């Protein structure tokens, strides 16, 4: 309950915009009780980082790793896109929290990003490198290619889920996944 409320408050006001007194009051406890669980806000933030790697996150990563063992490019990138969209739909508060933390220059932001994104990027880069060795993909920088694909999906997620942009209202999830996977694979596959 403490983590859930902390995520909600931090996503609305930023890490620096929430006091421990305010957090304790929103939970219905005193500050000393809050400090029994988390001695300071940094420890609370660290706990949020750890909790963000929940069951869905772990399952999505394991499925991507399993798909990475094969050579079904559409299935691999489709799963990645669908997982990213679903995670954003389930965790919009964490996305806003990451944005606030980044804007505030929070010292643990890099750790948060690395713990969330790095495992996925490593799998994507590894898959692209493998497909390049097999002669299926063009000789492009694998990390850049991973960022191109993931960035397009992340931008879609932020625009539709976090910002609720009317510009994106007509772009459905299935359409976005299909077009992103198709365009990406048409661009990276050897002709």
Mean pLDDT of the chain: 89
- 94/87 Cα distance (integer angstroms): 10
Contacts of 92 (CB under 8 A, 6+ apart): 11, 161, 162
- 18/13 Cα distance (integer angstroms): 6
- 114/66 Cα distance (integer angstroms): 21
Summarised one tens digit per residue, pLDDT across range 163-191 is: 888 888 889 999 999 999 999 999 999 97
Q: How many CB atoms lie within 10 A of CB 58?
A: 11
Among positive and negative, which fits the CA dihedral 19, 25, 31, 37?
negative
Specify the pLDDT at position 153.
Answer: 96
Specify the pLDDT at position 104.
Answer: 75
Closest listed residue to residue 160, CA positions, set 75, 85, 70: 85
On whether the CB atoms of residues 93 and 15 are closer than 8 A, the answer is no
Closest listed residue to residue 45, CA positions, set 114, 107, 92, 1: 107
Specify the pLDDT at position 74.
Answer: 98
137 φ/ψ angles, rounded to the nearest 5 degrees: -110, 150
Specify the pLDDT at position 84.
Answer: 93
- Record the pTM: 0.83
Specify the pLDDT at position 119.
Answer: 92
Specify the pLDDT at position 183.
Answer: 97
Q: What is the pLDDT along the chain (191 residues), one digit of tens a residue?
A: 888 888 888 878 877 788 889 989 999 999 999 999 999 887 887 788 777 777 888 899 999 999 999 999 999 999 999 999 998 898 888 778 777 777 777 677 777 777 778 899 999 999 999 999 999 999 999 999 999 999 999 999 989 988 888 888 889 999 999 999 999 999 999 97
């Amino acid at each position: 309950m403490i983590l859930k409320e902390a995520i909600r408050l931090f996503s609305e006001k930023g890490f620096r915009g929430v006091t421990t007194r305010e957090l304790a009051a929103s939970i219905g406890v005193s500050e000393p009780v809050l400090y029994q669980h988390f001695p300071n806000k940094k420890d609370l933030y660290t706990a949020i980082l750890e909790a963000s790697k929940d069951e869905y996150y772990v399952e999505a990563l394991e499925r991507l790793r399993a798909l990475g063992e094969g050579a079904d490019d559409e299935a691999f990138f489709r799963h990645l896109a669908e997982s990213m969209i679903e995670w954003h739909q389930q965790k919009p508060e964490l996305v806003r929290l990451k944005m606030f933390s980044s804007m505030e220059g929070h010292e643990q932001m890099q750790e948060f990003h690395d713990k969330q994104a790095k495992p996925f990027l490593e799998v994507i880069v590894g898959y692209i490198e493998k497909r390049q060795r097999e002669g299926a993909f063009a000789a492009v920088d694998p990390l850049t290619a991973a960022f191109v694909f993931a960035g397009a999906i992340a931008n879609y997620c932020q625009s539709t889920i976090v910002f609720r942009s009317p510009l994106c209202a007509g772009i459905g999830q299935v359409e976005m996944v299909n077009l992103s996977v198709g365009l990406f694979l048409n661009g990276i596959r050897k002709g």
